[in-house]
Structure 1
Amino acid sequence: MKRAALAATRLALALAMGAGLGPPATARAQTVADGSGAGIGPADTRAVLDLVGRNLNSPEARVTELRRAAGGVICGSVDVRNRQGLYSGPRGFVVDLARAEFGRVPDGPELLSPARGEDREAMERVRQLYFRLCLD
């Protein structure tokens, strides 16, 4: 009897997900954790969160410290979960909305030993841009 009830529950869940009643597989839950999105407006906040979602493999990224900088750049910090599921600590980022470009400031090990496919010069450009425009 319990097996039949369990099978019926699984079938109902599968049908609900297939009918679009459950969360979509590509749903992202990036959030602005400190309310700083109010300073750049809802449209730009949404655009920043979309770029974060597309560029980082973290469905629960926490964005903070959003602010405008020179040249139409938006600066901020983002904290993502590591492989163990723990937040790894906030890191700066820059977004150029006009070009739909996102760059997270690399940490030391990333610069010393980039992962396959990562461009060390591009990471250094992001780092320099962040230091020039985003640090007060």
Structure 2
Amino acid sequence: MVRAVSALLCLAMVTGSSGARAQIVDDGSGAALGPADTRTVLDLIDRHLKSPDAKVTVLRRSAGAIICGSVNVKNREGLYTGERGFVVDLATSFFGRVPEGPELMTFRPGEAYQAMERIRQIYFDRCLD
């Protein structure tokens, strides 16, 4: 009985200390960034996408404090939607996921559309070879 309680307490401490986040760098590419920058990227993904089970891949540094990568999140049905590029500026804590065509079509030209276009442009300029 005491062992079972101890085991449950240890499990609660481990999951509780990490904020119960399950985001992962699926391909190990976070090693090139280092643990602090990788944690910052994962925290920004958590904050902006609110997806506790996001799978992050192909993390890489670009010019300055820019980090590029791909993220795959689950939809309401619990299915992964497919990888989409993202860009992070560590200096400003900026995160932007590259919008898909349908997203761009739902917004009329204005601030929201310009913000999505800005993300697309940064990603294309800094993240694509």
The TM-score range, normalised by the shorter chain, is 0.7 to 0.9
Aligned counterpart, 1:99: 92
Unmatched segments (≥5 aa) in structure 1: 1-15
Residue type of the partner of 1:87?
Y
SS across alignment from 1:99: coil
Residues 1:66 and 2:59 aligned together: yes
SS across alignment from 1:66: strand
Structure 1 residue 29, shift from structure 2 partner: 1.1
Larger radius of gyration: 1
Aligned counterpart, 1:112: 105
Residues 1:50 and 2:82 aligned together: no
TM-score normalized by the length of structure 2: 0.82
Distance 1:30 1:98 in 2: 22
Which of the numbers 15, 32, 57 marks the counterpart of 2:25?
Answer: 32
TM-score normalized by the length of structure 1: 0.78
Following TM superposition, the consecutive aligned residue runs of length 4 or more in structure 1 with deviations greater than 6 angstroms are none
Percent identity over paired residues: 65
The number of aligned residues is 115
Aligned counterpart, 2:3: none
Structure 1 residue 59, shift from structure 2 partner: 1.0
Q: Per-residue CA shift, 1:84-116, capped at 9, x if unaligned? A: 1100000000000110110000000001104xx
Distance 1:53 1:124 in 2: 22
Aligned counterpart, 2:114: 121
Q: Considering only aligned residues, what root-mean-square deviation do their CA atoms show, in Å? A: 2.0
Unmatched segments (≥5 aa) in structure 2: 1-7
SS across alignment from 2:77: coil
Structure 1 residue 71, shift from structure 2 partner: 2.5
